[in-house]
Amino acid sequence: MQNGKLHILTDTPSLANHFVAELRDVTIQHDSLRFRRNLERLGELLAYEISKTLPYTTAGITTPLAQTQTQLLTAQPVLATILRAGLPLYNGMLNYFDKAYSTFVGAYRVEEENTELQINMEYLASTDLHDKILILADPMLATGKSLVKAYKGMLRHGKPVQVHVAAVIASPEGVKYLQQEIPEATIWLGALDDHLNEKSYIVPGLGDAGDLAFGPKI
Ligand SMILES: O=P(O)(O)OC[C@H]1O[C@H](OP(=O)(O)OP(=O)(O)O)[C@H](O)[C@@H]1O
Ligand SMILES: O=c1cc[nH]c(=O)[nH]1
Ligand SMILES: [Mg+2]
C-alpha cells in the first residue's frame, strides 16, 4: 500500500520480505544475533526508502580527476528511538544517516491482567528538534501508545518540520491510532499485519521484539 503517507516495504517483492520472514520464523528468530541484524537490515532499507523523499541540494565535489556535481541532503534528520527493542532498528538507520543526531526514549508497556495497557516513560534525552526532520523508529507498532507518548514527550524539545515514523511490523489498530494522534507523520512499515490479540500483541507478528533481541525482562 502506498498512499503518500503510508508506505509498506513488503507490498513489493524484495529482500525486505526475507528479513521480515526471518524475524517471524520460530525456527530462526531465537538466534538473537541474527534477529538483531535483521532488525538492523530493515532499519537500513527503511532509511534508504525515506531518504528518497528528503530535500537535497546540488553540491560540487572534487575527484582526483575533475570537478563534478552531486545531490546531497540539505539537512541531516534527527533519529529517535524507544528502548529497548528500538536499538537495532535505530542502529541500521544510523548506518545510513551516519551524521544524524539522536534522541532516546526509555518506555515500556505495563501488561497487567484486566487493566488497560499503560506506557511507563522514564527517560527522554533529546537533541534540539526545532525545525528538524524527525525519524522516529520502533520495530513494533502495536497499540501505538508507546510511539505517541514518546513523540508527545519529544515535542518539549522543539517542533519538527517533518515527521516520519518507521516500524517493522504494525497492526491496523496502531496505524489508525498513529494517524489520528500524529496526522503530520508519514508512516514507513516493513509489514502491516492482521490484528492485535487480547494482550495487545500483533498477530501474526513475531512475539516480543525486545525479549528476542535482548532476553526476557524480569
Ligand atoms: O504500540 P505499543 O502497544 O505501545 O507497543 C509497542 C512497544 O512494545 C515494544 O516495547 P516493550 O514495551 O515490549 O519494551 P521493550 O522494548 O523493553 O521490550 C515495542 O518495541 C514498542 O516500543
Ligand atoms: O506484538 C508485539 C507488541 C508489542 N511489542 C512487541 O514486542 N510485540
Ligand atoms: Mg518488549
The whole-model pTM stands at 0.96
8 A C-beta contact, residue 136 and residue 164: yes
Q: Is residue 2 scored above 50 in pLDDT?
A: no
Pairwise CA distance, residues 192 & 203, whole Å:
10
Query: What does the block give as the cell for 92?
Result: 541500521
pLDDT tens column, 100-152: 999 999 999 998 887 889 999 999 999 999 999 999 999 999 999 999 999 99
Amino acid present at 85 = A
Strand 101-110, strand 140-141: pairing:
unpaired
Domains defined along the chain, listed by start: 6-53+74-214 (3.40.50.2020)
8 A C-beta contact, residue 83 and residue 146: no
Query: What does the block give as the cell for 27?
Result: 525456527
State the distance from the centre of ligand 2 to the C-alpha of 57, rounded, in angstroms. Answer: 39
Ligand 2: which atom is nearest the Cα of residue 212?
7
Would you state the pLDDT for residue 1? 43
- Please give the backbone phi and psi of residue 176, each rounded to the nearest 5 degrees, phi first: -65, -45
Helix (H) or strand (E) holding 96: helix 86-96
- 135 Cβ neighbours under 8 A, 6+ residues apart: 47, 50, 77, 78, 79, 80, 93, 97, 100, 164, 165, 166
- Does the CB atom of residue 35 touch ligand 2 within 6 A? no
Residue nearest to atom 7 of ligand 2 (CA): 208
pLDDT tens column, 179-206: 999 999 999 999 999 999 999 999 999 9
Would you state the pLDDT for residue 113? 80
Residue identified by cell 540539505 is 74
Would you state the pLDDT for residue 209? 98
Integer-rounded Cα Rg, in Å, for the chain is 18
Ligand 3 (single-atom ion) residues, CB below 5 Å: 208, 210
Amino acid present at 218 = I
Cross-strand partners of 104: 81, 125
Section 200-214 average pLDDT: 98
- Does the CB atom of residue 174 touch ligand 2 within 6 A? no
SS3 52: coil
Which of 23-27, 68-72, 109-113, 184-188 shows the lowest per-residue confidence on average (mean pLDDT)? Answer: 109-113
Q: Is residue 87 scored above 50 in pLDDT?
A: yes
Ligand 2: which atom is nearest the Cα of residue 202?
1
Over the chain, what is the mean pLDDT? 96
Section 87-105 average pLDDT: 98
Would you state the pLDDT for residue 4? 61
Helix (H) or strand (E) holding 82: strand 78-83
pLDDT tens column, 153-173: 999 999 999 999 999 999 999
ipTM of the complex: 0.97
Residue identified by cell 487493566 is 115
